Structure 1
Amino acid sequence: MQEYLSKEALIDAVKKTYALFDKEFDAVPEQKLNVRCPEVDRTPQEMLAYQLGWLQLVMGWEQDEADGKTVVTPSPGYKWNQLGPLYQHFYAEYNGYSLQELRELLSGSVEKWCNWVDRLSDKELFTPNIRKWTVTNANWPLWKWIHINSVAPFKTFRTKIRKWKKHVCSVG
C-alpha cells in the first residue's frame, strides 16, 4: 500500500486515479452498461456503484462518529466476512441510473471525499486510533482507510474496465 507523506499527496493521488478511472467510461456505450462478460467480475454499472457505495459508507462512518453515534462497520446487517451482499445492495441502490448520472454522482462523491480529507488534520490522518471506527477491524490510521476505499479500487477498476471494454466493446 502506498505510504503518503502529506495530506496533499493523498488528495492528489485520489484525484489522479479517479480521473484515469473515470476517463475509461468515455468509451462505454450506454446500452452496454450492465453487460456482463466472463473475463471481468463486475459490469461497468457495478464498478461505479461499488465506488459510490464505499465512498458514501466511509463518510457516513465519519459523520456518525462526529454525531456521537455508534458506528457499525461495514454497515448494519452486514459483516466484514460477508461483503458480497453489501455489494449487491450497492448495485441495487444505483440500478436504473444512466452512465452519465452514475459518473456525475461519482464525480460529486469524489469531490466531497477530497474536501473531507482536506479538512482533516495531519494528526487525524496519520495517527492510529484517532477515530473509533478505524480501530474496529484493521486498526489503520485514517489515511489507509481513505486509500483503500478510493485510490486502490480506482486503480483496480481501471484495469477491469479496460479489460471489460476489450471483451465487450470490440465484439460489436
Structure 2
Amino acid sequence: MKEYESKEALIAEIEKTSSKYIEEFADINETDANKRIEGVDRTPYENLTYQLGWLALIDQWEQTELAGKPLELPAPGIKWNKMGPLHEQFYEVHRGQSLAELMGLFNQAVKDLITWINSLSDEELFQSGGRKWAQSTASNWPVWKWVHINTVAPFKSFRTKIRKWKKEL
C-alpha cells in the first residue's frame, strides 16, 4: 500500500484516481448501466453506487464520532466478514437514479472528502489514534489508510472492472 508523505499527496492521488475512475462512465449508455456481463461482478450502476456507499460511510463514521455517539463499524448490524447486505444497502439508496445523477453525486462526494481531509491536522490524518473509528479494528490504522483503502484502491481496481465490462459489452 502506498504511504503518503503529506496531505497534499493523498489528495492528489484521490483526485487523480477518482477522475480516471469516473471518466469510464462518460460513454456508458443509460440503458446499459444495469446490464450484467458474465465474468464481471457488478454492473456499472452497482459499481458506482458501491463507491458512493463507501464515501458516505467514511462521512458517517466521522459525523457519528463528532456527535459523540456510539459507532458500529462498518455499519449497524453489519460485520466485516459479511459485507453483502451492506453492498445491497448501497444499491438501494440510489435505486432509480440515473447514471448521470450518480456521476454528479460521486464528484460531489469526492469534493466533500477532500474538504474534510483538508480540515484534519496532520496528526489526526497520519498518526494512529487520530479518530476513534479508525481504531475500531485490530489494525489500529491511521485515518489516511482508511481513506486510501476506501477510495484510491477501489477507484483503481473498480476502474479495471468497468473497463472489462465495457470491453465485454
The two structures have a TM-score, normalised by structure 1, of 0.96
Q: What is aligned with 1:35?
A: 35
Contiguous gaps of at least 5 residues in structure 2: none
Q: How many residues align?
A: 168
Displacement after TM superposition at 1:93 (Å): 1.2
Identity of aligned residues (%): 52
Uncovered stretches (5+) of structure 1, i.e. residues with no partner: none
Give the aligned partner of residue 165 of structure 2. Answer: 164
Superposed counterparts of 1:83-102, under 5 Å: 83-102=83-102
**Matched letter for residue 77 of structure 2:** G
2:25 counterpart SS class: helix
Q: Which amino acid aligns with 1:97?
A: Q
Would the aligned equivalents of 1:22 and 1:103 in 2 still touch at CA under 8 Å?
Answer: yes
Superposed CA deviations along residues 45-101 of structure 1, whole A, max 9, x for unmatched, are 111101111111111101111111111101111111100110011011111110100
Classify the secondary structure of the residue corresponding to 2:140.
coil
Task: Tell me, yes or no, if the aligned pair for 1:46 and 1:91 is still in contact at 8 Å.
Answer: yes
Matched with 1:140 is 141
Contact 1:37–1:164, Cα closer than 8 Å, also in 2: yes
The CA distance in 1 between the partners of 2:117 and 2:51, in whole Å, is: 17
- Give CA-to-partner distance per residue, 1:143-164, whole Å, 9 cap, x none: 0001011100100111000000
TM-align CA RMSD: 0.7
The 8 Å contact of residues 40 and 164 in structure 1, kept in 2 or not, is answered as: yes
Q: Which runs of 4+ in 1 moved over 6 A?
A: none
Whether the aligned pair in 2 keeps the contact of 1:53 and 1:90 (CA below 8 Å) is: yes
Amino acid at match of 2:166: K
